[in-house]
Amino acid sequence: MSVFLSQYFSFITPLVLVILALLNSGCERKINYERTHYPLPKGIDISECEIGEYGGIFILNETTQPTTFHPQVPNNLSTGMVLSRLFSGLVNYNPKTELFEPALAESWTVSDDGLAYTFNLRKGLLWSDGHPFNAEDVIFTFDCILSEIVDEVTGDKRPLYPSRYYQQFHINDKPIKYTLIDTYTIRFDLPKTYAPFLYDIGVAILPKHILGFSFDSGSFMKNWTTQTAIECPESIVGLGPFKIFSYKPGERLVLEPNPHYWRSDRAGQRLPYLDYLVIKFVSEANTAIAHFATGKSDASGVGAEDYGWVNKAADIYEFSIINRGPSSSVNFFWFNQNPGISEDGIPYVEPYKYAWFSNKYFRKAILHGFNREGIIDAILFGKGEPLHSIIPPSQGEWHNPNVKKYEYSKEKSREIFESIGFTWNQEEKLIDVLGNPVSFNLLLVESARYDQIGITFVENMKELGIEVSLERSDFATLLKRTDGTFDYDMTILGWGSSSAAYDPSGSKALYLSSGAYHMWYPNQKSPATEWEARIDNLIQLQENTLDRQKRISYMHEVQAILSEELPLLFGYTPYSYVGIKNKWQNVYIPKAGSILWNIDEIWEGVKLP
């Protein structure tokens, strides 16, 4: 019998051992990545960073899948994040110096009138497949963006391959001009002085030798789908620090170093140091944070509400959480102030409601009655602050700290309501001048966070005698209703900037009365109010000067007007935290934007506290 048993065990033991080994080794397992060392080109960019060592797997969690690997196909935020690792542009924004730095362009000059930019490219660079890179590729990229065809039906010109960049490179409806000077020089001519030009010019450069054929044959946009990344990742060729190793939708995307990347350290080691960059897909943000808190990913944004418990595990899993202060994400409520009439002849907003919504004192009274401090206290555990301006404090000089502020005060709110002739009836319901009880709908995106905000808002308004009912929809439907059918009373949205390179022109569509994101009354033919006209004017002014101080003062005035007129009822801005494992070196965490902006310089060193 014992013989029999031991026979059994001899079979089981190795299996158990293997499983145990796998369980324990987990992250410790060293994977040897075979690097091919190609000679460094003449034009290589030598990084000033501390010299590191090769090795390490960096794991990141993402909640959304990339929808494409083609930089010019419409995509989402997560795709943008991935693409920025695979491709490079002419210039790069350095959040440390807050300046644009040379990337594929070694240097550039601006003419005195600010209209002509000449870029000199680095020499001797190769694409990730080893093919040489030169100015032809840059020209090709802009051809792809700006080429037009004449529409057979309407006779109008339209983009050959519609992309988000088409509009971006039109200034006052005129396209920029780009000229090939020689193999390594390109000149851009602008129709007009345009301050944020450098901010726009960093688009991903595409390889002509790969995509040129499809550009001619019309299948340009069908290239580099997610299917390509699954079946044939090596055909996606870029100039970025990484290239695709493998892609499993719903599971992970593994990137490996681009052996021809255009940067090296001072010791002549070609960057990036990392062996692999792994982007793991999880179903939701909570899971992503849980993974980080249990040491299963290397870096993660940590929400203000999660800071407390995630930090408890910091010593066990050897990571640190860094407070970046107020984040660049903002949220705001607004009332529908569109005076228009729908196709059926019904006004978008009932006239009596429109009278409330378009009254700035009504809006001020509401904001005074909204317990933003309480939300921050309860939901964010005190880790946030009420927002007072559309440009959050994280944007440094651009933020205007001296705007009008609306603190939570039921008394003030009641005072303002009384001053505009509103009264309360016996049941403590708020009644307007015409005798209508005040009640409206609040449209929310379906999510736990907005539910919490919305419910608090409803409860706050109840105390003022206002009845608010909640309506939920998915994000797309909400946008359709707020800028297409306009059948809503009030709604709330938030946005955050993913990029550290901040320029107020990036949210031009919000400020301009003709803009598509001019939430409360978009796409106006001519400014509806004087203050909107003034903002239009200020935005134009700041765009047409290269003097940073002047631009800042214009934007300060815009913020002052917005908080006086209060078309947007500002919510709060949470403090932003990021966690990263202690072993990673050369990490510099900027105030805003991605913490991995210098992923090519990050290396795995000793575990320092």
Partner 1 sequence: MGRGETALGRLKIIMWQFIFRRLLTLIPLLFGVSLLVSLLMYLSPGDFLTQARAAKDIDPSFIEQTERQLGLVDEAGNPTPWFIQYGHWLANVSPLKYGPWVGEFDKGLFLGNPYFGESWTYKIEVFDLLKQRVPATLILSLTSILFAWTIAIPLGILAAIYKDSIFDRISAFFAYAALSIPEFFLAILAVYFAAVTGLFPEGGRSSIESEFLPLGLQFVDYIHHLILPTIVLGIGGIAGTMRIMRANFIDCIRSEYVTSARAKGLKENVIMFVHVLRNAINPLITSLGYAFASLLSGALLVENVMNYPGLGQLIYDALIREDQYVVMAGVLVGVTLLVFGNLLADILLGWIDPRIRVDSGQTEQKEKNYSSWLFLILFSLIGGEILLESFFPSCLMVIVQFFKWVGLLLLFLIALGCIALTIYLLLILAKRLLVPIFKRTSGAIAFSILAILYFLSGFASFFAPYPVSEQNLSFPYHPPSHIKLVNGNFEVLMMERVEVGLAQYEVVDRSVPLKFLSKSEPYDLFGFIPMSHKFVQLDSVNPNDRLYILGSDSTGRDIFSRLLYGSQISLSIGLIGISITLVLGFIVGSIAGYYGGWVDFSAMRLVELLMSIPGLYLLLALRSAFMRPELSPVQVYSIIVVILSIIGWAGTARIIRGMTLSLRNRSYVQASRSFGVPVWKILVRHILPNIASYLLVAATLAIPGYILAEAALSFLGLGISEPSASWGLMLRQSQGNMIVFFMNFWWMLLPGLAIFITVVAYNILGDVLRDIVDPKIKI
Residues 58-97 that bind partner 1 (CB under 8 A): 59, 65, 67-68, 74
429 binds partner 1 (CB under 8 A): no
**Pure H helices in 147-231:** 165-168, 197-201, 208-217, 226-231
Distance of CA 360 to the CA centre of its chain: 31
What value, to the nearest 5°, has the Cα angle with vertex 416 and ends 415 and 421?
95
Position 336 contacts partner 1 (CB under 8 A): no
Regarding 183 and contact with partner 1 (CB under 8 A), the answer is no
| The binder of partner 1 chosen from 473, 498, 507, 582 (CB under 8 A) | 473
Site string for partner 1, 135-174 (x = CB under 8 A): -----------------------xx--xxx-x--------
Selected binder of partner 1 within 1, 3, 476, 606 (CB under 8 A): 476
CA distance 69 to 206: 12
| Binding flag, residue 22, partner 1 (CB under 8 A) | yes
Residue 479 C-beta: closest distance to partner 1, Å: 4
Binding to partner 1, residues 209-228 (CB under 8 A): 225-227
Verify binding: residue 180, partner 1, rule CB under 8 A. Answer: no
Is 255 a binding residue for partner 1 by CB under 8 A? The answer is no
Q: What are the residues whose beta carbons fall under 8 Å from the beta carbon of 417, sequence distance 6 or more?
A: 362, 365, 430, 464
Binding mask 103-142 for partner 1 (x = CB under 8 A): ----------------------------------------
451 contributes a contact to partner 1 by CB under 8 A: yes
In the bound state with partner 1, the residue whose beta carbon lies nearer, of 170 and 312, is: 312
Peptide bond into 159 cis (omega under 30): no
Q: How many residues does the chain have?
A: 609
Q: In terms of CB distance, is 47 or 573 closer to partner 1?
A: 573
Going along 223-268, which residue ranges are E strands?
A: 242-248, 252-257, 263-264
Could you say whether residue 479 binds partner 1 (CB under 8 A)? yes
Query: What is the C-alpha separation between 561 and 439, in angstroms, rounded?
Result: 27
Structure-block tokens of residue 569 = 């009822």
Q: Which is nearer to partner 1, 102 or 159 (CB)?
A: 159
Beta bridge partner(s), residue 180:
186
Nearest to 279 by CA among 261, 252, 260, 314: 252
Asked if residue 251 binds partner 1 (CB under 8 A), the reply is yes
Between residues 95 and 196, which has the closer beta carbon with respect to partner 1?
A: 196
CB-nearer residue toward partner 1: 129 or 471: 471
State the DSSP H helix or E strand holding residue 578, giving kind and residue range, or none if neither. strand 572-581
Buried/exposed code over 367-390 (b: 16+ C-beta within 10 A; e: otherwise): bbbbbbeebbeebbeebbbbbbbb
Stretch that binds partner 1, among 80-88, 452-460, 491-499, 551-559 (CB under 8 A): 452-460
Among 46, 57, 122, 128, CA closest to 86: 128
Question: Which residues from 265-304 bind partner 1, rule CB under 8 A?
Answer: 276, 278, 280, 282-284, 286-287, 289-291, 293-294, 296
Q: How far is the C-alpha of 335 from the C-alpha of 363, rounded, in Å?
A: 8
State which of residues 193, 246, 544, 545 lies at the interface with partner 1 (CB under 8 A): 246
Identify which of residues 282 and 466 has a Cβ nearer to partner 1 in the complex.
Answer: 282
Smallest gap, in angstroms, from Cβ of residue 407 to partner 1? 15
Please report whether residue 477 would count as binding partner 1 according to CB under 8 A: yes
Cα diameter, the chain: 97
Closer residue to partner 1, CB minimum distance, 94 or 456: 456
Task: Report the residue number, 245 or 531, with the smaller CB distance to partner 1.
Answer: 245
- Measure the CA–CA gap between 573 and 205, rounded to whole angstroms: 35
Residue 99 in the binding site for partner 1 (CB under 8 A): no
Residue with tokens 């519609």, as numbered in its chain: 162
CB 270 within 8 A of CB 51: no
CA distance 132 to 126: 4
459 binds partner 1 (CB under 8 A): yes
